[in-house]
Amino acid sequence: MSWGPRNKRGRTRILPWAKRPKLIAIIDENESTQKSLRELLESTGFVARCFGSAEQFLESDLHREVGCLIAEMQMPGISGLELQARLKAKQCNIPIIFFISNGGARMRIQAMREGAVEFLAKPLDHQLLLETVRAALDL
């Protein structure tokens, strides 16, 4: 598998630098949100992979390769908070950026206490998201 942003034909371009960029995982059950976020991230040089659920992400066994995780807080099945707890139990300290459609003050407090990088509201401000990802990756 080659690592790099996609070109206009949807093919992955190999990036010119020697070291592979950190992978950014996007977890959301909404495919249009996944596509939008992946395109945004890849248009700025990041490498992104989408997952439809937290279970799918955990089963992929990519958590050791991921440099940053962007996840919907309220998902069917494993919630964002439960995903965060499972990753912590695996001693996997991925920077997590959560987003939520509405409400969630209690969830925000708990997620931030457990180490989430940020908790954003939908609709996402793309510039703020990119700045937050860069900060999470410490670029």
What is the pTM assigned to this prediction?
A: 0.81
Least confident among 28-32, 82-86, 100-104, 122-126: 100-104
pLDDT of 7 reads: 53
Q: Where are the domains of the chain?
A: 23-125
pLDDT of 48 reads: 97
pLDDT tens by residue, 1-33: 344 455 555 555 544 443 556 899 999 999 999
Q: What is the rounded average pLDDT for all residues in the chain? A: 84
Q: Is 71 exposed, middle or buried, given 0-12, 13-18 or 19+ CB atoms closer than 10 A?
A: buried
Nearest-CA neighbor of 24 among 5, 42, 48, 41? 48
Q: What is the mean pLDDT of residues 124-130?
A: 95
Buried b (16+ CB within 10 A) or exposed e, 113-135: eeebbbbbeeebeeeebeebbee
Domain 23-125, CATH = 3.40.50.2300
